[in-house]
A = this chain, B = another copy of it.
Amino acid sequence: MATELYDLTVPVFTRGLKALSAILDKAAAHAAETGADPQALLALRLAPDMHPLSKQVQIACDGSKLCVARLSGAEAPVNEDTETTIDELKGRIDATLAFMASVPRDAIDGQEDREVVLKFPGGEWPFKGQAYVVGFAIPNVFFHLSTAYGLLRQAGVPLGKRDFLGNPG
C-alpha cells in the first residue's frame, strides 16, 4: 500500500505547526503568570550563532511552505519575516497552515521523481522529490520544531513531549 507523498508532507507539517502554535500559547501563558517578558522569550538562542526562537518558528513555517510549494508547483505566499510578537508568529503559522490546506492532494501525490534543487550560498543541492521530503524537508522542519520546544523548556515553560508531538495517529 505504501505512503503517498501528500501524507508525508501536508498532514505532517500541519500537525507539527499546530503543536508549535499551542506551545507558543503555553509560552505566552507562562510569561503572563510569571511576569516574564514574552519578547525576551522570542530572542532566546541555544548558541550565539544559532537563530533565536522567533526565527526557529519562521523557518519551521518556511520549511513546510516551501516543501509543499516545490512539490506541487503552487506559488508559496511571500513572508517578510517581520513578526516580533507571539501573536504575530501564531499568525504566520496560521497563514502557513492555510496555504498548505489550499494545495490539493493530487498536486503532490506522484511527485516522487520531481526535480527539487535547493540553492545555498555555497552551491546547489539537487534532489528528487521523495528524497527531498524524507532526507531534507521532514528532518529540517522537525529540527526547528524541536529547537523551539527546547528553547522554551530551557526557559521554564511547562511543556512535555506530548506538546511537541501534537495529536498523531
A interface residues with partner B (beta carbon < 8 Å) = 1-5, 7-8, 11-12, 15-16, 46-47, 50, 109-110, 112-113, 125-128, 130-132, 134-136, 138-140, 142-143, 145-147, 149-150, 153-154, 156, 161, 164-165, 168-169
Q: Is A150's CB under 8 angstroms from B142's CB?
A: no
Give Cα distance in the complex from A112 to B3, angstroms. 8
Chain B residues lying within 8 Å of A1, measured Cβ to Cβ, are 2, 110, 112-113, 130
Number of copies: 2
9 more A-B residue pairs beyond the given contacts A50-B150, A136-B165, with a C-beta to C-beta distance below 8 A: A3-B3, A46-B154, A47-B154, A50-B153, A127-B168, A132-B168, A138-B142, A142-B142, A146-B146
Q: Report yes or no: B16 in contact with A8, Cβ–Cβ below 8 A.
A: no
Main secondary structure of the interface of A (DSSP, over half): helix
Closest 3 CB pairs of A and B: A135-B168, A146-B146, A2-B2
Beta-carbon nearest neighbor of A141 in chain B = B142
Smallest CB–CB gap between A36 and chain B, Å? 15
- Within the complex, what minimum Cβ distance (angstroms) separates A53 from chain B? 12
